[in-house]
Amino acid sequence: MGIHLLERSAVKTPRRILAVLTLSTLAACGGAGSPDGPVVASTATYRVTFHTDWTHSAFPTQFPVSRHFSGLVGATHNDAVKFWDENEKASLGIQNMAEKGDKTALLEEVDGARKAGHVDSALSGGGIGANETEVTLEFAVATTHPYVTLVSMVAPSPDWFVGVRKLALFQSNQWQDKVTVPLEVYDAGTDDGVSFVSADINAVPHVAIQTLTSAASDTDFLSGLHRSTGRVVGTFTFERLR
């Protein structure tokens, strides 16, 4: 009887060792997955290309002088935090970005969320100059913090901006190879100016963020789109590099 027990134990031991080695190997690879599926890398690197076709020839009505976009700013984060949303009032960080192109307060909000464990990386990059049409930014994303929020001020403007919020780059246990997002123009709701070159007019009280709609004689934008052409001012294209 004792001999049979010893033989069964001897057969099981290698299986237990194999299981431990398999889990250790997966952990060492830094991946996630199941025995029935491929191992998925726990991090990925992306390049976002911010491209604009907002030129005088493409948008001939109410085109502002020296149009440009402020430096990109945002974060990679988890589901527990958001930095802006339509129909909600703008934070100080979003207000300063949308009114002045100033990143400081928004990066402070991002850092606070990072300390709370909700942000993996702060994002900060260049903008698009008056005679430019494109800018890129590379960043890493982790499966634990798979969302990206990224914004840029439309300039000149009272408080208008473009951006994405809580865009998932990791879905259904896989990294997205390429995601292109059309960029509507948003009104941050913190300034009552109605044209691109309006003087500062603080909104009292502040109202919720909405897509930009103003009189055709002021901006020629309706629900975030150019009224005369129905076009967006640009796109964010996120491409996985490795």
d(CA 103, CA 124) in angstroms, rounded, equals 8
Cβ of 76: how many Cβ atoms within 10 Å? Answer: 25
In the chain, which residues have pLDDT < 50?
A: 1-30, 34-35
Is 95 within 8 Å of 160 (Cβ atoms)?
no
pLDDT for res 23:
29
| E strand residue ranges, the chain | 31-32, 40-41, 43-52, 68-69, 73-77, 119-124, 134-142, 147-155, 160-168, 170-171, 174-175, 178-183, 186-187, 210-211, 221-222, 225-226, 234-240
Question: In the prediction, which pLDDT does 7 show?
Answer: 36
pLDDT at residue 176, as a whole number: 98
Q: In the prediction, which pLDDT does 39 show?
A: 81
Distance, CA of 216 to CA of 235 (rounded, Å): 23
Determine the pLDDT at residue 40. 87
Q: Tokens representing 24? A: 């250790």
For 70, list phi and psi in degrees, rounded to 5: -75, 170
CB of 158 closer than 8 Å to CB of 192: yes
Looking at the chain, the number of H-run helices and the number of E-run strands are 3, 17
Sheet with strand 178-183: strands edge to edge: 134-142, 43-52, 234-240, 178-183
